[in-house]
Amino acid sequence: MRVDMMRFVFLWVFLVINGATLSGCAFTTLLAAASQALAPGERSRALHDPHDSLWPQPAPSRYRVRMETTKGIVLLEVTRALAPRGADRFYHLVQAGFYDNSRFFRVISGRFAQFGIAGDPAIAKIWQNERFPDDPVKDCNVRGTFAFAMTGPDARTTQIYVNTGDQSGRLPWARLDAMGFAPFGKAVEGLSVIDQLYAGYGETSGGGMRAGHQGKLFEEGNAYLDREFPLLDRLVRAEIVEEPK
Tell me the per-residue pLDDT of 55-86, one tens digit each, with 9 for 90 and over: 999 999 999 999 999 999 999 999 999 999 99
Q: Do residues 14 and 63 both lie within one domain?
A: no
Based on the fold, state whether residues 59 and 33 are members of the same structural domain: no
The confidence score (pLDDT) of residue 238 equals 98
In a domain, 182, yes or no: yes
**What count of other Cβ atoms lies within 10 Å of the Cβ of residue 43?**
18
Q: What is the C-alpha to C-alpha distance for residues 171 and 26, in angstroms, rounded to an integer?
A: 42
Q: What is the mean pLDDT of residues 90-99?
A: 98
Q: How far apart are CA 190 and CA 72, in angstroms?
A: 7
Examine residue 45 and state whether it is found in any structural domain, yes or no: no
Question: 235: domain range?
Answer: 52-240
The answer to whether residue 245 is domain-embedded is no
Express each pLDDT in 198-236 by its tens digit.
999 999 999 877 767 899 999 999 999 999 999 999 999
Per-residue confidence (pLDDT) for residue 36, from 0 to 100: 61
Q: Which one-letter DSSP state was computed for residue 173?
A: T
Please give the Cα distance from 91 to 67 (Å, whole number). Answer: 13
Asked whether residue 122 falls in the same domain as residue 8, the answer is: no
**37 or 158: which carries more pLDDT confidence?**
158
148 shares its domain with 117: yes
| All residues at 6 or more sequence positions from 112 whose CB lies less than 8 Å from its CB, including other chains | 106, 161, 162, 163, 164, 165, 167
Give the predicted TM-score (pTM) of the model: 0.85
- The long-range contacts involving 45-48, CB below 8 angstroms and separated by at least 24 positions, are 46/92, 46/95, 46/96, 47/96, 47/97, 47/98, 47/123, 47/126, 48/123, 48/126
- Structural Rg of the chain based on CA atoms: 18
Q: In 3D, which of 74, 76, 93 has the Cα closest to residue 36?
A: 93
